Amino acid sequence: MNSRERLAATLNHQEPDRVCVDFGATPVTGMHVSAISRLRREVLGDPSYRVKVIEPYQMLGEIDDELREALGIDVIGCQPRKTLFATVNTDWKPLTLFDGTEVLVSGDFNITIEEKTGDWLIYPEGDTSAPPSGRMPKGGYFFDTIIRQDPVDDDRLDPADNLEEFGPLSEEDLAYYRRAAAWLDEHSDCGAVLIIPGTGFGDIALVPAPFLKRPKGIRDVEEWYISTVIRRDYVYTVFEKQCEIGLKNIETLIELLGDRVQVAFVTGTDFGTQRGPFISCDTYRDLYWPFHKRVNDLIHSKSNWKTFIHSCGSVFDLIPDFIDAGFDILNPVQCSAAKMDPQTLKREFGSHVVFWGGGVDTQKTMAFGTPEEVYREVRERIDIFAPGGGFVFNSIHNIQGNTPTESILAMFRAIRDASK
């Protein structure tokens, strides 16, 4: 099988010739640029090569064609035109990170250094005349969102303020996706994921709007979560309009990209903590399910795409509702959280959803375990999830910048050995 065929079989719950592998196709299945830089140097040599930062919020790096082939990675991703800081990945320039890694960043990736702390501040659209929207602490690896919100005045709240970032695809967007179609054609032997713009209902990474220069509405993380209860009708109205716009854009993207795409990344909204769901099942059904259902139904009725939900933590109790909403794929499969035992997940839901992730724990094993422990856990997870298909190997969320290279190499060695 080639990579596209391997992913197709996996999505159809058929066992492929070997386990399908994704690193780098989505913002939740990637690697920090520092980890990629060290890994690439180890695997391919060329110490002068600078990896591109393709997602500056988490500082995720590009898995280039040469590295993807060397590591046996099957899936590529069609990202949005703009990053979470509304920068555009063109006009690359050099930057040295706190840990000394030499990378490339986009031409509008503009930072200032806070005098007292040495922290990096980053700006929406790279406009340093606007208030900064992200902060990387000195010595850190990624940016934290800076909350920019005045006190909430309930008498003046307008759902339109929380809809500022949503709209029809622009001419620039359409031109970008036409180029993406040509790029996908050039990589027609790869599995392919499209990141759907504007369907992350309540995604807390998006609520503070680090891409807007002066966001309005409810933009504080705590205030937003409170609002899903005390201002439920306001949030529902935001989701209704967001959904209308999203559905129109999905129709356009289906027409533009067609069967070049196999998977649609719909939402990254997290519903779980380490110990249980963040919200009740009733709240999910009331506030989120209707919009997930509409998006999934449209995609399934007008394309062959499978739909992907990312939701961290202990979401076992919500998985039946995810399935009922029409999701085909669950990520990151956080096996370390309560009730997320891999064998139970495979037994209970393996015939209904594709598990995209769960391959190794990034919180403990990858970060603090020995290479031997990494190898063993990877082999165990493949043995559990892979039989019968329905499993795309990925770690439980992104591999962080300070992850030991020996552990990453052990992970890929285990994947290869499992295929023998």
Q: What are 41-50's pLDDT values in tens digits?
A: 999 999 999 9
Distance CA 332, CA 395 (A): 8
H or E element in which residue 326 lies: none
Q: Which helix (H) or strand (E) holds 342?
A: helix 342-349
CA distances from 332 to 32, 215, 352, 403 (A): 16, 30, 16, 18
> 112 is written with which tokens?
């200032």
Instruction: Give the ranges where 188-277 is alpha helix by DSSP (H).
Output: 221-230, 232-257
131: tokens are 């208030």
Residue 20's pLDDT is: 98
Q: What is the mean pLDDT of residues 160-169?
A: 97
State what percent of residues in the chain have pLDDT above 70. 100
Q: Are 242 and 166 in contact (CB under 8 A)?
A: yes
In the DSSP assignment, the letter for residue 132 is P
pLDDT tens string 192-207: 999 999 999 999 999 9
Residue % of the chain over a pLDDT of 90: 99
Tell me: the pLDDT tens digits for 309-327? 999 999 999 999 999 999 9
Q: Is the peptide bond before 197 cis (omega within 30 degrees of 0)?
A: no
- How far is residue 361's CA from residue 359's CA, in Å, rounded to a whole number? 7
Instruction: Indicate if the pLDDT at residue 420 is higher than 90.
Output: no
CA separation for the pair 66, 3 (Å, rounded): 15
pLDDT in tens, 283-292: 999 999 999 9
**How many Å apart are CA 340 and CA 285, to the nearest integer?**
21
Q: Which residues of 308-319 are buried (b: 16+ CB within 10 A; e: fewer)?
A: bbbbbbbbbbbb
What distances in angstroms separate CA 135 from CA 58, 117, 123, one per listed residue? 11, 11, 9
- For residues 313 and 272, the answer to whether their CB atoms sit within 8 Å is yes
pLDDT at 219: 97
Q: How far apart are CA 67 and CA 52, in angstroms?
A: 13
State pLDDT tens for residues 362-391: 999 999 999 999 999 999 999 999 999 999
pLDDT band, very low/low/confident/very high, at 243 (cuts 50, 70, 90):
very high
If you ran DSSP here, which 8-state letter would residue 286 be given?
I
Residue whose pair of structure tokens reads 């032997």 in the numeric block: 189
The β-bridge partners of 272 are 277
What pLDDT is attached to residue 241?
A: 98
Please write the tens of the pLDDT for every residue from 324-337: 999 999 999 999 99
With a CB cutoff of 8 Å and minimum separation 6, the contacts of 108 are: 87, 88, 91, 125, 126
Q: Is residue 419 predicted with pLDDT exceeding 90? A: no
Whole-number pLDDT of residue 252: 98
Residue closest to 245 by CA, chosen among 200, 192, 309, 194 = 200
Q: What is the pLDDT of residue 10?
A: 98
Q: What is the set of domains in the chain, with CATH numbers?
A: 3-30+72-80+153-418 (3.20.20.210)
Cβ proximity of 30 and 98 under 8 Å: no
Residue 77 has pLDDT above 90, yes or no: yes
Q: What is the structure's pLDDT at 150?
A: 87
Angle at CA of residue 376, ends 372 and 381, nearest 5°: 150
pLDDT at 332: 98
**Helix pair angle (371-385, 342-349), 10° resolution:** 20
Please report the pLDDT score of residue 214 as a whole number.
95
Query: Does the pLDDT at position 234 exceed 90?
Result: yes
Distance CA 78, CA 137 (A): 30
Residue identified by tokens 């509008």 is: 108
pTM confidence score: 0.97
Nearest C-alpha neighbor of 124 from the set 169, 90, 83: 83
Q: Which residue has the tokens 């029409």?
A: 326
Q: Quote the CA–CA distance of 247 and 237 in Å, as a whole number.
A: 16
Which pLDDT score, from 0 to 100, does residue 41 have? 97
Residue 30 clears pLDDT 90, i.e. is over it: yes
Cross-strand pairs, 391 = 355
